[in-house]
Chain A
Amino acid sequence: QVQLIQSGAEVKKPGASVKVSCKVSGYILSKLSIHWVRQAPGKGLQWVGGFDPENGETIYAQKFQGRVTMTEDTSTDTAYMELSSLRSDDTAVYYCAIDAHYYDSSGYDYNWFDPWGQGTLVTVSS
């Protein structure tokens, strides 16, 4: 079965950058669409971005555009999310997840995230 293993917790100063990794086990990264979701302490889930196979591009939530970069190393089956110009409100647990997408016969489309990585806590503090 597919598993996602994320890198360990990070502590960064405001203005710095952080790069979180997500290693795919049990499958081939190039056949998957990896997305990133974050969760600030005591808050809900927030989609950050991910690979969209329909247009072959990585898409980012508008809130993060210009500050986030998602890359992949297919030789090691590892995906990365780098967030720059960190602020205190970027303190959160960052999750990677496999995104799947489908259109059904009635014209409805839908996506789902499964499985998820264990999460990486990024703390931004001076």
Chain B
Amino acid sequence: SSELTQDPAVSVALGQTVRITCQGDTLRSSYASWYQQKPGEAPVLVIYGKNNRPSGIPDRFSGSSSGNTASLTITGAQAEDEADYYCNSRDSSGDHQRVFGGGTKLTVL
């Protein structure tokens, strides 16, 4: 099965822009979806597809993809964006399995 690799931790100054990345071979033919998870809460979808935001997600969240890397960008990070972020995609092996990245802990300074 495929793997998705994320940096364990990233930090950003309040109001600045941060990019969280996710690498994996499956991303050459599948877009990633991204989830925000705060302590003690269920994950929340923030980006899916090429760059789609569910209703209620601020437009400072955006997604992009190039080669085997998907990125989640937060433009003008806010204190409430401090959370764990996970990428997810379909396995490239053809059996339709799903796979998650290991997660990135975002700290807003």
Contacts and interface: CB of A to CB of B under 8 A. Distances in A.
Interface of A: 35, 37, 44-47, 50, 52, 54-55, 59, 61-62, 95, 97, 99, 101-102, 104, 107-119
15 contacts: A47-B100, A52-B96, A54-B96, A55-B96, A62-B1, A102-B49, A108-B31, A108-B50, A110-B32, A110-B48, A110-B89, A110-B90, A111-B89, A116-B43, A119-B42
Interface of B: 1, 29-33, 35, 37, 42-45, 48-50, 54, 84, 86, 88-90, 95-103
B76 to A, nearest CB: 24
B33 A110 contact: yes
A102 B31 CA distance: 10
A112 B98 contact: no
Contacts of A110: 30-33, 48-49, 89-90
Contacts of A115: 45
A116 B41 CA distance: 10
State the majority secondary structure of interface residues on A: strand
A59 B95 contact: yes
Given A46-B100, A54-B96, A108-B31, A118 B48 contact: no
B48 A47 contact: no
Contacts of A102: 49
Contacts of B29: 107-109
Contacts of A37: 43, 100
Contact of A116 (B31, B44, B98): B44
A123 B82 CA distance: 28
B97 A61 contact: yes
Nearest to B104: A44
